[in-house]
């Protein structure tokens, strides 16, 4: 009997595992392919803010960036590479956004030193940019470290049944609470309102004679050199999905795209691609993550239809699966958001601390229910 079972061992599931075990919970972590075997393992794992003007997502990622930098430095400093980040505008619209960002952010910005400019392409130097302290973590090793104190099962969860106050997993394991951290892959819950965008990611590790000490974000992200290796990634391909496309992903084409985009920003010489990482990450259709309890759609419609189809429904009137939660939809900011969101959700599970309803999966149920005739 476990206190909590987590399904999915990417950065969300691993961060949840860490928070819950730190709070004294007995936790089991399930993944059909291994820890960080999907989109999280293929991530560039850059820790950076969102460079936009305003909005809920920008503010959420700002807070998560500040929190996560401290979190990684305090608990996993050996897996964090603190390094400056240079974010370069892609076009004139992006340039205007960066100008606005620099005037309104409370983060400490810096001037780009001349010694960092020698590896940049002239066209990159001519664009508006932001330079600040940030970092990058080792994706797979970080997920493994976060989940170290759990019991890990590399197996697919094929059955999930609630009976007598507990969840039964694969007819063999029981837990009081279950957390779904399955990303954009299919789950056992067939709730029509939960739709996630699958975004295919591809990262390459390279060796190059060009030595680089900071992260560069423009058309693609390039990491600082760590132990002789530079990471480039990850591509965001919304058209490829491993469970939907008939043809396999073209690795060679993906590599070429990554290098072509990186070379728009940097002068990289004597390039040798040493490893490819690919995987599916998840994003929501309103770009905000989903954390919290999961609504039982048919049961809620049957009992509370009039309370659902109002302009601003009260989520407290919905019916929820007992002790079933999800954490998902981080998009390209998985390693920034996960520690911050996992802290929120673990406090909900352990202490019933309320989560901002704007992050609740219930918001998608409410929208879906209003569209029904």
Same domain membership, residue 162 and residue 116: no
Reported as a pLDDT band with limits 50, 70 and 90, residue 373 is low
- Secondary structure in 3-state letters for 40-98: CCCCCCEECCCCCCCCHHHHHHHHHHHHHHHHHHHHCHHHEEEEEEEEECCCHHHHHHH
109/85 Cα distance (integer angstroms): 10
Residue where a domain stops, chosen among 279, 294, 320: 279
Q: Give yes or no for residue 319 having a pLDDT over 60.
A: yes
Same domain membership, residue 228 and residue 360: no
pLDDT digits (tens, 9 = 90+) for 70-88: 999 999 999 999 999 999 9
Same domain membership, residue 216 and residue 268: yes
Same domain membership, residue 216 and residue 299: no
Same domain membership, residue 363 and residue 303: yes
Residue where a domain stops, chosen among 227, 261, 279: 279
Structure confidence at residue 192 (pLDDT): 92
CA R_g for the chain: 21
> Mean pLDDT across the stretch 269-279?
95
Residue 215 lies in a domain: yes
Residue 47 lies in a domain: no
Residue where a domain stops, chosen among 225, 251, 279: 279
> Mean pLDDT across the stretch 321-330?
97
Q: Give yes or no for residue 299 having a pLDDT over 60.
A: yes
Residue 93 lies in a domain: yes
Same domain membership, residue 267 and residue 205: yes
Higher pLDDT, 237 or 100: 100
Structure confidence at residue 372 (pLDDT): 82
Same domain membership, residue 362 and residue 218: no
Q: 353 by DSSP, 3-state: which?
A: coil
Higher pLDDT, 107 or 247: 107
Residue 316 lies in a domain: yes
What pTM value is reported for the model? 0.95
First-to-last C-alpha distance (Å) of the chain: 43
Same domain membership, residue 146 and residue 274: no
Split into its structural domains, the chain has a count of: 2
Burial of residue 312 (CB within 10 Å: 0-12, 13-18, 19+) is exposed
Q: 366 by DSSP, 3-state: which?
A: helix
> Mean pLDDT across the stretch 262-284?
94
Same domain membership, residue 358 and residue 248: no
CATH of residue 183: 3.50.50.60
Same domain membership, residue 153 and residue 294: yes
- What are the backbone angles phi and psi of residue 69, rounded to the nearest 5°? -60, -45
pLDDT digits (tens, 9 = 90+) for 112-123: 998 889 999 999
> Mean pLDDT across the stretch 215-227?
95
CATH of residue 110: 3.30.9.10
Residue 44 lies in a domain: no
Structure confidence at residue 171 (pLDDT): 96
- Structural domain range at position 330: 2-38+142-196+286-371
Same domain membership, residue 248 and residue 131: yes
Residue 65 lies in a domain: no
Q: Which tokens go with 227?
A: 């132990």
Residue 50 lies in a domain: no
Q: Strand 272-284 vs strand 196-207: parallel, antiparallel, or unpaired?
A: antiparallel
> Mean pLDDT across the stretch 192-205?
91
Same domain membership, residue 366 and residue 220: no
């Amino acid at each position: 009997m476990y206190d909590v079972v987590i399904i999915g061992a990417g950065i969300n599931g691993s961060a949840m595992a860490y928070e819950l075990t730190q709070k004294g919970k007995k936790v089991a972590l399930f993944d059909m392919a291994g820890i960080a075997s999907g989109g999280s393992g293929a991530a560039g794992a850059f820790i950076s803010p969102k460079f936009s003007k305003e909005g809920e997502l920008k503010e959420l990622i700002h807070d998560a960036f500040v929190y996560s930098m401290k979190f990684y430095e305090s608990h996993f400093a050996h897996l964090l590479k603190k390094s400056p980040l240079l974010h370069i505008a892609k076009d004139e619209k992006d340039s205007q956004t960066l100008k606005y960002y620099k005037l309104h952010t409370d983060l400490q910005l810096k001037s780009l030193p001349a010694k960092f400019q020698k590896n940049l392409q002239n066209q990159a130097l001519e664009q508006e940019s932001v330079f600040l302290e940030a970092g990058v973590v080792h994706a797979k090793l970080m997920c493994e470290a976060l989940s170290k104190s759990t019991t890990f099962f590399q197996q697919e969860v094929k059955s999930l049944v609630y009976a007598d106050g507990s969840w039964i997993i694969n007819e063999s394991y029981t837990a009081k609470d279950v957390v779904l951290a399955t990303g954009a892959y299919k789950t056992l819950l067939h709730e029509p309102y939960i739709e996630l965008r699958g975004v295919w990611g591809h990262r390459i590790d390279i060796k190059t004679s060009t030595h680089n000490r900071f992260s560069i974000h423009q058309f693609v992200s390039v990491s600082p050199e760590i132990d002789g290796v530079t990471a480039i990634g990850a591509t965001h391909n919304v058209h490829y999905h491993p469970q939907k496309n008939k043809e396999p992903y073209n690795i060679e084409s993906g590599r070429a795209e990554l290098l072509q985009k990186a070379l728009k920003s940097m002068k990289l010489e004597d390039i040798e691609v040493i490893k490819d990482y690919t995987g599916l990450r998840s994003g929501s259709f309103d770009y905000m993550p989903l954390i919290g309890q999961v609504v039982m759609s048919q049961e809620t419609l049957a009992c509370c239809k009039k309370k659902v189809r109002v302009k601003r429904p009260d989520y407290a009137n919905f019916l929820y699966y007992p002790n079933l939660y999800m954490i998902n939809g981080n998009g390209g900011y998985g390693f920034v958001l996960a520690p911050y969101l996992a802290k929120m959700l673990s406090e909900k599970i352990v202490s019933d601390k309320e989560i901002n309803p704007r992050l609740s999966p219930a918001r998608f149920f409410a929208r879906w229910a209003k569209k029904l005739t």
